[in-house]
């Protein structure tokens, strides 16, 4: 790697880290804690993605790749092997699946595809408990209902029925699910960009496009642009979500054992302020 490319890469990462570091400082996370996480990620990625074919990556090789000491590599590998860093299960995915199922599963939608109001339990016919059992994994229906009502995604409609208000789950600021969503969104975007940078065939690159006003948009027009994004963006996402849900509801004998690939599309609206432009 040439010196100019190295400096350009470090400069890009400096800009990338600035909003991330702001979040950490705002919430009392120190450099020491962040540094420990970074060392672990260096070791994890070097071991997983840069090993030689047919050979177990040694601490010495990982130390060469990462610049860490061999002793530090051994320590980080021991921490990673303990499996105590992160919680594997995610409420975020479960809640999202329940909301999508309520809007797309024929058992829980009406004649025109609208989600029907559900009792919590029912001896026969659709119910919220049955919805959670089908789409929410092993999460308890009562806990799922409590969370959906807490974030305003579901309300009580009377006569013991519950009504869904949205198919999108956006957790409140800084709870565990919101932080997990933040990590997923940023990681997905960066991995798409990394893949495209590393792929020489333009036709094999993943879809990644951006539109913006070349000379900036008049401040008075930003609310109108925001509303346009919300309307058009949601329409596209709902259309794609319905297509994905339809594939899950029509399994065939030939694809039951086919490998599963986690894939999707994200849309975001950016606004760059004067001080951020100078970063």
Strand residue runs (E) in the chain: 118-119, 154-158, 161-164
Three-state DSSP at 250 gives coil
Neighbour tally for 254: CB within 10 Å = 7
What pLDDT does 89 receive? 43
pLDDT tens-place values along the chain, 279 residues long: 688 888 988 888 898 888 888 888 877 677 888 888 899 999 999 998 888 887 888 999 999 999 999 999 999 998 888 876 644 345 667 888 899 999 999 999 998 889 999 999 988 889 999 999 999 888 899 999 998 998 889 999 988 899 999 988 776 666 777 777 888 888 888 889 888 988 889 889 999 999 999 889 999 999 999 999 999 999 999 999 999 888 876 666 556 677 888 899 999 898 987 665 555
What pLDDT does 180 receive? 77
- Report whether 175 contacts 126 (CB < 8 A): no
Rounded-to-integer distance, Cα 226 and Cα 252, Å: 41
What pLDDT does 182 receive? 80
What pLDDT does 275 receive? 64
Sheet holding 154-158, edge to edge: 118-119, 161-164, 154-158
Write the CB contacts of 181 (distance below 8 Å, at least 6 apart in sequence). Answer: 92, 170, 171
Neighbour tally for 92: CB within 10 Å = 18
Using the structure block, give the residue that is written with the tokens 């000379």.
215
- Count of residues in the chain: 279
What pLDDT does 212 receive? 92
The structure tokens listed for 126 are 């659709």
pTM of the full predicted structure? 0.64
């Amino acid at each position: 790697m040439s010196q100019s490319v190295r400096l350009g890469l470090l400069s890009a990462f400096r800009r990338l880290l600035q909003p991330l570091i702001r979040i950490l400082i705002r919430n009392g996370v120190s450099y020491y804690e962040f540094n420990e996480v970074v060392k672990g990620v260096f070791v994890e990625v070097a071991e997983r993605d840069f090993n030689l074919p047919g050979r177990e990556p040694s601490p010495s090789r990982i130390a060469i790749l990462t610049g860490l000491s061999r002793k530090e590599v051994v320590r980080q590998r021991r921490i990673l092997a303990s499996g105590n860093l992160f919680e594997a299960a995610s409420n975020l995915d479960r809640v999202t699946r329940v909301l999508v199922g309520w809007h797309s599963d024929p058992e829980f939608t009406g004649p025109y595809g609208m989600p029907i109001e559900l009792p919590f339990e029912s001896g026969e016919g659709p119910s919220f408990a049955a919805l959670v059992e089908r789409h929410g994994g092993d999460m308890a229906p009562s806990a799922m209902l409590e969370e959906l009502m807490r974030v305003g995604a579901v309300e009580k409609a009377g006569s013991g029925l519950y009504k869904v208000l949205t198919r999108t789950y956006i957790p409140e600021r800084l709870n565990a699910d919101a932080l997990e969503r933040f990590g997923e969104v940023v990681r997905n975007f960066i991995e798409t960009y990394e893949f495209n940078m590393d792929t020489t065939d333009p036709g094999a690159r993943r879809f990644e496009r951006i539109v913006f006003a070349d000379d900036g948009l008049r401040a008075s027009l930003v609310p109108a642009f925001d509303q346009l994004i919300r309307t058009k963006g949601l329409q596209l996402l709902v259309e794609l979500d319905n297509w994905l849900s339809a594939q899950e509801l029509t399994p065939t004998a030939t694809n039951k054992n086919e490998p599963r690939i986690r894939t999707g599309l994200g849309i975001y609206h950016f606004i760059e302020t004067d001080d951020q432009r100078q970063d």
